[in-house]
Structure 1
Amino acid sequence: MQSALRLIYPPRCVSCGDTVAQDFALCLPCWGQTPFAAGLVCDACGTPLPGQDSGQPEYCDACLTRPRAWTRGRAALVYADNARKLVLALKHGDRTDLARPAAVWLLRAARPVLMPGMLVVPVPLHRWRLVRRRYNQAALLSAGLARAAGLDHCPDLLIRPHATPILDGLGAEARFAALDGAIAVHPRRRDRLAGRGVLLVDDVMTSGATLEAAARACLAAGAVEVRIAVLARVAQNL
């Protein structure tokens, strides 16, 4: 039966739709056009760095200039070319099917920063934005990563009590100002944080302002350490 279904409905590339060998995969041309964050990367945000990996932590200029509230982080992709197309399709194009392969890429990138007993938490959307979009793409990613890694997942640990402005087009300082104190821990979920490490998950990191607000909220509520994993890292401002 499975073979017959594959003849009728062969696996398709999640990007271009061409036939591939397995479900939820990229074809070779699309894979080649998708910039994965590999090799030596910043230990705080995952952006690729020049040079060879010596086994010692290295940091990009952005993370050296602005120390992060979290301790370590990784990104699966660089936000450019086909990676940008895939992220936008997941975020705004109702391509929730992309969360499945994206979670696999994210787990592969995040393995160096995972700790036993971590609580995996998505960056939240404000309730009105969630109503309009109908899903939180960060929560889809965090659920897939947590399930594959065998870690606890709490999709509603963090909330946005107040709507924040659209951040597109804002510089780093304006982003940090707009998000200062904009994220909080859900009052009924605080007990899940006490004495635990947290892995924050988001789809894209630009300046890091959103992740900073989320990390500070977790630490203030009792988390012992926060690390991050993002699907894509914007490199243009580095």
Structure 2
Amino acid sequence: MRHALRRAGDIIYPPACLGCGELTGEHGGLCGNCWSQLRPIEQPRCDVLGTPFSYDVGDAVLSADAIADPPPFAKARSAVLYDDIARALVHRLKYKDRTDLAGVMAGWMVRSGEDAIAGADAVLPVPLHRARLLMRRYNQSAELARALASRAGLPYLPSVLFRTRATRQQVGLGSQARADNVRGAFTVPEGRIAEIAGKSLLLVDDVYTTGATVKSASRALLKAGAGKVFVLTFARVAPGNL
């Protein structure tokens, strides 16, 4: 019966590539062409920022950026580089109501962020301001964080971190303007502090660009008493493309 229902569902909603929409053999995957264009971030990479290196420089090596400007978080990891296919997936999740993509994207994030996940006690998303949440109806980072927490078997804490003011969209802003835009934009309510005291937290977002947002959010969590913050995003913009 289950098989018959699945076949009927495939007829009504045939399996299609998550990237381009072409028909595929199964649901929740990419066609060969899109898969070949997706650029996973693996070793070698900066041990702190997760920035990919162009050649193997050894284990636990830091990038020049991590040395010159150490972030407040312990480690950042991303599943893929933010290229055309990754951008299409993020855009559909974020603006096209394709919340079904979160589970697939979280699966890739789990594989890329194994070391960050292993050190975490709980998972939480980068929050939207309530005004923007009302406009969008859901937070794409929360969809990713919820799916990731389920896959990793970690507690999900969606109501610990709040965005206290409606910041400008980060798209189109330079590095300094991004940092200024989100400075002091996050807080942990007094009544939630006990939930994170001394804990290692995994902060989830969709895209890491300059890191301004996750750095500001990490500072708020650490100020509230978190022991350590790890960052995991689906995609990250290559430093040369900032």
TM-score w.r.t. structure 2 length? 0.91
Deviation of residue 162 (structure 1)? 1.1
* Matched letter for residue 27 of structure 2: D
Distance in 2 (alpha carbons) for counterparts of 1:130 and 1:113: 28
Does the C-alpha gap of structure 1 residues 126 and 31 become closer, same or farther in structure 2, counting only changes over 3 Å? same
Q: Deviations over 1:178-200 (max 9, x none)?
A: 21111111333211101110110
Give the match for residue 13 of structure 1. Answer: 17
Contact 2:103 2:148 (8 Å CA) reproduced: no
Q: Deviations over 1:141-170 (max 9, x none)?
A: 011111111111101211111111122221
Give the match for residue 29 of structure 2. Answer: 25
Q: How does 1:30-69 map to 2 (within 5 A)?
A: 30-52=34-56, 54=58, 56-69=59-72
Q: Choose from 212, 219, 223 the match for 2:226.
A: 223
Contact 1:13 1:26 (8 Å CA) reproduced: yes
SS at match of 1:74: strand
Distance in 2 (alpha carbons) for counterparts of 1:168 and 1:61: 25
Distance in 2 (alpha carbons) for counterparts of 1:165 and 1:80: 24
Q: Choose from 57, 69, 73 the match for 1:70.
A: 73
Residue-pair matches, total: 237
Does the C-alpha gap of structure 1 residues 62 and 81 become closer, same or farther in structure 2, counting only changes over 3 Å? farther
Distance in 1 (alpha carbons) for counterparts of 2:241 and 2:65: 8
Give the superposed CA RMSD. 1.8
Contact 1:115 1:197 (8 Å CA) reproduced: no
Does the C-alpha gap of structure 1 residues 146 and 53 become closer, same or farther in structure 2, counting only changes over 3 Å? farther
Q: Deviations over 1:37-84 (max 9, x none)?
A: 123122223232111263x22233433332100011210010112111
Q: Deviations over 1:78-101 (max 9, x none)?
A: 011211111111112221111110
Q: Which runs of 5+ in 2 are unaligned?
A: none
Distance in 2 (alpha carbons) for counterparts of 1:42 and 1:199: 18
What percentage of aligned pairs have identical amino acids?
43
Distance in 1 (alpha carbons) for counterparts of 2:91 and 2:103: 15
Contact 1:205 1:230 (8 Å CA) reproduced: yes
Does the C-alpha gap of structure 1 residues 143 and 12 become closer, same or farther in structure 2, counting only changes over 3 Å? same
Give the match for residue 171 of structure 2. Answer: 168
Contact 2:120 2:230 (8 Å CA) reproduced: no
Contact 1:35 1:81 (8 Å CA) reproduced: no
